[in-house]
Structure 1
């Protein structure tokens, strides 16, 4: 398995004490597989993605990505994981304002030491960004910025792609095209895709679907 979660638990501190968010989640995902994670708001979906991406730590349990124990890594190790192994597409675009779109797309791949100009150009064309490569993030619409964030994550050829509502800022037609491109590229590179979505239609396009309810896989 490329990704394995074993008995993951996570709580946050509330006004009256700890508030459980994840209550013992088990999950496995193999290379080349795509998995949709669905659930109501507050069910712990985004928290789970943050834990897998090394952006936070679980209270207990074990997460392994490509055989590496993420829960045992320090801050530097988790940052290296996101540079080289995991591509992250969250709802916040986190583009670099001082870089044009071409440089934003190439940014993570350059950090990982595997920038491929041909792949970056192909991604830009597939995601409808080829005419905007010399522009800056502030000159693009929210949907175009989201597509740039997706291209940046895929350009580094990650082994695992984490996507939190990646088409949430896109119109339906564009969302279909972007999702199709993501699935094609994941299949071509043998990566795994874990996507959080509220859309039953988009979830149905994934290879597998799991539902998170009250911090547990239902």
Structure 2
């Protein structure tokens, strides 16, 4: 498995009250598998994604990504995992304003010591960005920025792609086009994909759907 969660629990203190967000979550994602994670707002979907990325730590249970146990992994190892193994795509794009498209696309790959100019060029072509490489994020539309964010995440050829509402800020037509490209590229790379979405229509496009409610997952 590219991603394996066993008995994962997570709680937060809110106003002096302990709120259990995740209660014994089990989930697995294999190479080339695409999984949609759905649930009501505040159900813990983003929390679950952050745990899988090593951006937060579970209170209980076990999380493995590409064979690496995140349970007691030190912060530098988690950072290395995000640089080299996990691609992250967020609704907010998170591009670096001072870098042009070419530099944003290559940013994570350079950090990982895995920069491949031919692969970057191929991604740019497939994502319709070849003519925009010298532009800066503020000069791009929302759809173009999201394509850059997806390209940046795929530039390292990640084993696992984690996407949190990646088309949430886009109109339906642009969102569909971005989804088409993301699913196509993930399939070609053989990466696992776990995507948070509120849209039943988008969830239906992925290979499997799991629903988070009451801190537990159901198919």
Question: Counterpart in 2 of 1:73?
Answer: 73
Alpha-carbon shift at residue 165 of structure 1 (Å):
0.6
Counterpart CA distance in 1 for 2:101 and 2:162 is 21
5+ long unaligned stretches in structure 2: none
Q: Is it true that 1:56 corresponds to 2:53 in the alignment? A: no
Structure 1: any 5+ residue segments left out of the alignment? Answer: none
Partner of 1:181: 181
SS in structure 2 of the partner of residue 71 of structure 1: coil
Give secondary structure in 1 for the equivalent of 2:187: helix
Farther-moved stretch of structure 1 (182-191 vs 73-82): 182-191
Q: Cα distance, 1:141 vs. partner?
A: 2.5
Aligned pairs for 1:52-131 (under 5 A) are 52-131=52-131
The TM-score with structure 2 as length reference comes to 0.95
Residue aligning to 1:145? 145
The alpha-carbon deviation at position 190 of structure 1 amounts to: 1.0
Asked if structure 2 preserves the Cα contact closer than 8 Å seen for 1:44 and 1:214, the reply is no
In the alignment, the residues of structure 1 paired with residue 115 and residue 175 of structure 2 have an alpha-carbon distance, to the nearest angstrom, of: 26
| Partner-residue secondary structure (3-state), 2:194 | strand
Contact 2:34 2:207 (C-alpha < 8 Å) held by counterparts? yes
Query: Hey, what does 1:20 align to over in structure 2?
Result: 20
**How many Å apart are 1:130 and its aligned residue?**
2.2
TM-score by length of 1: 0.96
Q: Residues of 1 paired with 2:108 and 2:23: CA distance?
A: 33
Task: Give the match's secondary structure for 2:6.
Answer: strand
Moved over 6 A (4+): none
Check conservation: 2:143, 2:178, Cα contact below 8 A.
no
Query: Partner of 2:215 in structure 1?
Result: 215
Counterpart contact for 2:143–2:175, Cα < 8 Å:
no
113-122 vs 94-103, which moves further: 113-122
Secondary structure of 1:194 counterpart? strand
Residue equivalent to 1:196? 196
| Residue 206 (structure 1) aligned with residue 206 (structure 2) | yes
Tell me by how many angstroms 1:143 deviates: 2.7
Paired position in structure 1 for 2:47: 47
Counterparts of 2:210 and 2:111, CA distance in 1: 33
* Equivalenced residues, count: 218
